[in-house]
Amino acid sequence: MNCIIVDDEELAHHVIEEYISRIPFLNLVANCYDIQETIQVLKNNAVDLIFLDINLPNISGIEFLKSYNKLPNVIITTAYDNCAIQGFELDVIDYLLKPFSFERFLKAAYKSFDLYNNVKILQETENEMKNAFIFVRSNNEDVKLNLNEIIRINALKDYIVIYTNTRKLIVHQTMKSIMEKINFENFIRVHNSHIISLQHLQSVGKNSLMIADERIPVSEKYKTYLSEIVDRYK
């Protein structure tokens, strides 16, 4: 993972650099001493992780997090504990209070690495799905269906209904057989009568979820698995 250090203290750079050098999956791209410099580095480099101090000249680390969308993963490194709640509300991976040990630093780095790998797997799956398709029998025709079109699948007795953004296909097939056909991690069963695409999932509640502005029930049988998937991407 490509990472950068953003801190106005030289000593902090030396400590974090030394820690990074001991972790094989981290690659230090740049040392930044203020937010303006950080923005330029982000424009010109592929960065996966920022080690960010809070007390910086001109623009604080917290203001930076509030002002910029689509930042890489962020681990806050600071001597102050009064911004921890605010940091986590802004979706930072971890909050390290200086001085922190290598063991604590490593734990935070692994959190980011796990998330990075999960996102990468999801992106690879989505890329595979762009070119993946199946044929289903509907209205006496064999209909080609791109997998990334599928939003959800609903069971109706001996039939299933496949919903996409543009059409609804009624197919004489079982839920088990269609799951074997699509066979991608992006599709999960959330109820005996419902299969959904994670790509189109909007939100998850206690006993239901929203997908493409439709509320779908989640049965007890599938709740734990769905929760594990959601937790993986938090």
Mean pLDDT of the chain, nearest integer = 88
At 130 the pLDDT is 58
Give the domain range for residue 136.
Answer: 132-232
Phi, psi of 25 (to 5 degrees): -85, 0
Task: Work out the widest C-alpha separation in the chain, in whole angstroms.
Answer: 72
Q: For residues 180 and 17, what is the distance between their CA atoms, to the nearest angstrom?
A: 48
**Amino acid letter, residue 123:** Q
Taking the chain, what is the end-to-end CA distance rounded to the nearest angstrom?
19
pLDDT digits (tens, 9 = 90+) for 22-71: 998 999 999 999 999 999 999 999 999 999 999 898 888 889 988 887 88
The tally of domains found in the chain comes to 2
Q: For residues 148 and 187, what is the distance between their CA atoms, to the nearest angstrom?
A: 10
Residue 172 tokens, joined: 């004489």
pLDDT digits (tens, 9 = 90+) for 59-70: 888 899 888 878
The whole-number average pLDDT for the span 104-129 is: 78
**Amino acid letter, residue 203:** S
pLDDT exceeds 80 at position 129? no
pLDDT exceeds 70 at position 124? no
Looking at the structure, tell me whether residues 48 and 158 fall in a common domain. Answer: no
Looking at the structure, tell me whether residues 190 and 111 fall in a common domain. Answer: no
Residue 92 tokens, joined: 């930072």
